[in-house]
Structures are given as C-alpha cells and as structure tokens.
Amino acid sequence: MEKLLLLLNLGQRAYSRWMLHRLLSGVAIVLGLTIVISILISATLIGVLFVFYNYALVYGFEPHTAIVLTFLLSLIFILALIICTNMCLNNFRKISKTTSKPSPLTSSALSMLDSFTDGFMAE
C-alpha cells in the first residue's frame, strides 16, 4: 500500500512539473511574440509618420508646420494605443474576477481519487 501511495505521489509530482513547464513555455512564447509584434508595429508607425511628413512637405506645407502636424498625428496614435491597452487591462480584470467551475468529469475523478486514498490510509 505504501508503494502505491509513493507511486501516486511521484506521478502527481511529475505531472505537476510537466504542467508547470508547459505553462512557462507558453508564457515565454506569448512574451516573445508580444515583443516582436510591438517592434513591428513601432516600425510601421514610424514609417507612416515619415510618409505623412514627406507628403506634407510635397503638398506645400512649411517644414515646421509639417513637424507639428506629424507630432499631432503621433499623439493621436499614442492616445489610441493607450485606450486599447486600458480596454485590454479591464477585460483581464473582468476575466480574473470570474470564478470558473471545475468540469464534472474532473471533480468526480478527484473525489474518487480522494476516496481511494482515504480508504488506503484508514486501517
């Protein structure tokens, strides 16, 4: 009986380590993709602002006026990104506040395993 409990304990530890490793690798992938996407978005926005500045110069604006217009456009982009980030954070807060119920299959399996181990421990 003690060997069976030892095997169950070792199996549970191995499974929890595997799940932790899987979770951490998933988090690392998400963080890496987030960094790459933010770099690409930044490069695209810089390109758009440069094209806007050049078109402003081509269509007859003075350089100082074109710089001010480009600055205002960049402020609009920054405000839009701040609003989107705030909305995403609010959604994450809502998700974290909701409680998830365990599935019936998982809860019945866990209760059966608890009863099984309680039966072995009781003498």
Does a structural domain hold residue 115? no
| pLDDT beyond 90 at 103 | no
Mean pLDDT, range 107-122, rounded to an integer: 68
Domain of residue 61 covers 2-96
Please give the angle made by the CA atoms of 108, 110 and 114, to the nearest 5 degrees: 115
Does a structural domain hold residue 40? yes
Q: Are 77 and 45 in contact (CB under 8 A)?
A: yes
Does a structural domain hold residue 71? yes
Does a structural domain hold residue 113? no
Helix (DSSP H) and strand (DSSP E) numbers for the chain: 3, 0
Does a structural domain hold residue 107? no
**pTM listed for this prediction:** 0.56
Q: How far is CA 100 from CA 44, 79, 81, in A?
A: 39, 34, 30
Does a structural domain hold residue 25? yes
Tokens for 45, please give them: 């926005």
pLDDT of res. 6: 67
| pLDDT beyond 80 at 3 | no
44-63 tens-digit pLDDT: 999 999 999 999 999 999 99
| pLDDT beyond 60 at 70 | yes
pLDDT of res. 49: 94
Lowest mean pLDDT among 51-55, 97-101, 111-115: 97-101
* Other residues' Cβ atoms within 10 Å of the Cβ of residue 44: 10
Does a structural domain hold residue 68? yes
Domain count, the chain: 1
Does a structural domain hold residue 109? no
